Amino acid sequence: MNLPNSVTEIIQGFENGKFSSQELTKAYLNRIDNLDPEINSFITVCHERALLDAKKADRSRANGSANKLTGVPYANKDIFCTKGVRTTSGSRMLDTFISPYDATIVERLGSQGMVMLGKTNMDEFAMGSSNETSFYGQVNNPWNTNCVPGGSSGGSAAAVSAGFTPVATGSDTGGSIRQPAAFCGISGLKPTYGRVSRYGMIAFASSLDQAGPMGRSVEDLAHLLAPMAGYDSRDSTSSMVKTEDYFGNLEDELKGKTIGLPKEYFSTNLDRQVEGVIEEAIKEFEKLGANIIEISLPTTSLSIPAYYVISSAECSSNLSRYDGVRYGHRCELPTDIEDLYKRTRSEGFGEEVKRRLLTGTYVLSSGYYDAYYRKAQQIRRLIKDDFANAFTQVDAVISPTAPTTAFKAGEHQDNPVEMYLGDCFTVASNLAGLPALSVPAGFVGGMPVGLQLIGSYFQESKLLTLGHMFQKSTGWHQHFSRDESKGAQ
Amino acid sequence: MPITEKEVRKIAQLARISIDDKDICSYEDQLNKILAFVDEMKAVETEGIIPLAHPSEETQKLRSDKVSEKNQRESYQSVAPTTENGLYLVPQVIE
């Protein structure tokens, strides 16, 4: 069968009896089995479980007890705990870890009757922008397998792009949904901090981490966001702000909307051709009736240093739980408790994670706390204030998602800082806790370019409208990296 | 001020990570690169600015002090490397 191109098409297909969930699930599983060896986007594929869930979904469709999303296949980033299915967070530390419970979002998507195809590859503990730090091997970009898919949700992005799953979950601490979405030519949304529950999402930096949907179109993001969003008593940072109707306003006119163009974002390290694509996109928004004005986010140049201090500090604290005692890897025959901790952690963590743990430990250590951690938190407030100021004038802020298209694997191997600089457009919204969307906006040298729209707190719906109307008029989201008719048999 | 080899060893000890002697230099070099770039923060005056630990402005919801979860010790311990009689086993800590 030819695989459908969107969740909307899948729902229609079920309703018209074009295919069953079992047929569709089998087709996606076949395509993964046939084509994923070249991409490596999955760590675990759940053949049996997915087919069982699809069978159940078909039964509820037949007896009228189905929800809208019942039977729709999807994939979870391997950062989300799944009861009975191993959850690795891309690390040797959790190579054999099987969670005794489901993450809230896994539970919610499951109770909609969605069918989990498997768990997608990711940078180890979500630390990385290239998906090269995974214990399970790098992921290759479906547009050019010599290039990285971005990270850390590189597996989810590559899987959606290659047509292995219609939608997938991701998590975003400094751009980990948006940058891989941009590199792989798909759409991705990082919701407002607190909009989606973090319960059961393996922690990297708790004040920045946020789960969100990834898919080919903004409409598909809305499909996935609706059940993911909302208050969860099991996450103390979950917001009680009411969720919106993510579909109701999708077709709203852009006339009267104001989009801010931060002058600082169009800086020297932005690739000229990427800039050209973004300029075209801006014209498109003007054509759709939006008003574009220049704004200033003066502290934005310091968002990467502040981000790396804060995220490393929080991760050094969060990852202290991996001690070889309660779960995860444990070294062989420890001689004493110190040896148990040190060897377990040295064997279980990869290089990038160790680097960040050391950085984080350093900036929190006595004598350096004020110069680094406190300073970074002060800058964090300035960044938040910059945005608050901007949102008195604009509905959204526009920028590229990343300064370049997907780079070659191994390109930033020797200098971690170069890799960090690629996050210059994405980290500020995590520091401020704002929602941000990435949508495909064109190509440079055959590789996709992503456009980012940042919104004010809990205005996901407004961002989705902007993204959807842009997609309706440009069709950039309908360019696919892989032939849709292959591999599903 | 660049970080020294001695400091790299000290933080590695604080983070409970062992680093092979042959790798110390490369960690020292990479951490110095990271810190040099982080030092850009010094360019901005932040005197008197209240640090922001968290983006959320909501007050955290409190729940009543009642048992809400059932005991799942067995299931939670099933993923532990070693347990005995419901206890986690570690190498001897106290003589």
DSSP sequence for A71-119? T-EEEEETTB-BTTBB--TT-GGGTT-B-SS--HHHHHHHHTT-EEEEE
Query: How many CB atoms are located within 10 Å of the residue A123 CB?
Result: 31
Q: At residue B1, does pLDDT exceed 80? A: no
How far is B60 from chain A, CA to nearest CA, in Å? 6
The rounded Cα A368 to chain-centroid distance in angstroms is: 32
Q: Which two tokens stand for residue A327?
A: 């779960």
Q: B43 contacts in A (CB within 8 Å)? A: 302
Q: What pLDDT was estimated at residue A445?
A: 96
Q: B75 contacts in A (CB within 8 Å)? A: 100
Structural contact between residues A84 and A5, judged by C-beta atoms closer than 8 angstroms: no
Distance CA A48, CA A28 (A): 13
Q: What pLDDT was estimated at residue B63?
A: 84
* Interchain CB contact of B40 with A (< 8 Å): yes
Structural contact between residues A126 and A89, judged by C-beta atoms closer than 8 angstroms: yes
Rounded to 5, what percent of chain A is helix, strand, coil? 40, 15, 45
Query: How many CB atoms are located within 10 Å of the residue B63 CB?
Result: 8
What one-character DSSP code corresponds to residue A449?
A: E
Residues of chain A with pLDDT under 70: 268
Q: What pLDDT was estimated at residue A484?
A: 72
Alpha helices in A134-271 (DSSP H): 154-161, 178-184, 218-228
| Contact state of A233 with B61 under an 8 Å Cβ cutoff | yes
Please, what is the Cα angle at A224 between A205 and B58, to 5 degrees?
45
Is beta strand A291-295 parallel, antiparallel or unpaired with respect to A258-262? parallel
How far is B85 from chain A, CA to nearest CA, in Å? 14
Structural contact between residues A88 and A135, judged by C-beta atoms closer than 8 angstroms: yes
At A159, phi and psi to the nearest 5?
A: -65, -40
Q: Which two tokens stand for residue A50?
A: 């997915």
List the beta strands (DSSP E) in A318-430: 396-400
| Contact state of A308 with B12 under an 8 Å Cβ cutoff | no
Preferred mutation among B3, B4, B9, B17 to probe A, highest tally of A CBs within 10 A: B17
Whether residue B78 has a cis bond before it, omega within 30° of 0: no
Distance CA A284, CA A470 (A): 7
* Interchain CB contact of B5 with A (< 8 Å): no
* Interchain CB contact of B29 with A (< 8 Å): no
Closest partner residue to B38 (CB to CB) among A194, A236, A309 is A309
Q: A233 contacts in B (CB within 8 Å)? A: 61, 63
The rounded Cα A173 to chain-centroid distance in angstroms is: 9
Q: Which two tokens stand for residue A246?
A: 């993510």
Structural contact between residues A35 and A488, judged by C-beta atoms closer than 8 angstroms: no
Q: Where are the domains of chain A?
A: 7-254+456-478
Nearest partner of A487 among A21, A28, A24, judged by Cα: A28
Is beta strand A396-400 parallel, antiparallel or unpaired with respect to A258-262? parallel
Q: Which two tokens stand for residue A295?
A: 């704004």
A149 contacts: CB under 8 Å, gap ≥ 6: A41, A130, A131, A139, A140, A141, A142, A155, A157, A158, A161, A180, A183, A184, A406
Q: What pLDDT was estimated at residue A268?
A: 66
Query: How many CB atoms are located within 10 Å of the residue B69 CB?
Result: 6
| Contact state of B54 with A207 under an 8 Å Cβ cutoff | yes
Q: What pLDDT was estimated at residue A49?
A: 98
The rounded Cα A271 to chain-centroid distance in angstroms is: 23
How far is A326 from chain B, CA to nearest CA, in Å? 5
| Cα dihedral across residues A333, A335, A337, A342: positive or negative | negative
How far is A237 from chain B, CA to nearest CA, in Å? 7
Assigned architecture for domain A7-254+456-478: Alpha-Beta Complex (3.90)
Q: What pLDDT was estimated at residue A41?
A: 98
Q: What pLDDT was estimated at residue A419?
A: 85
Q: What is the phi-psi region of residue A149: left when phi exceeds 0, alpha when psi lies from -120 to 50, beta otherwise?
A: alpha
The per-residue b/e assignment along A412-449, b for 16 or more CB within 10 angstroms, e otherwise, is beeebbebbebbbbbbbbbbbbbbbbbbbbbbbeebbb
Structural contact between residues A146 and A408, judged by C-beta atoms closer than 8 angstroms: yes
Q: Which two tokens stand for residue A476?
A: 């950039």
| Contact state of B33 with A330 under an 8 Å Cβ cutoff | no
Instruction: Report, as residue numbers or ranges, the catalytic residues of A.
Output: 77, 152, 176
Distance CA A109, CA A372 (A): 40
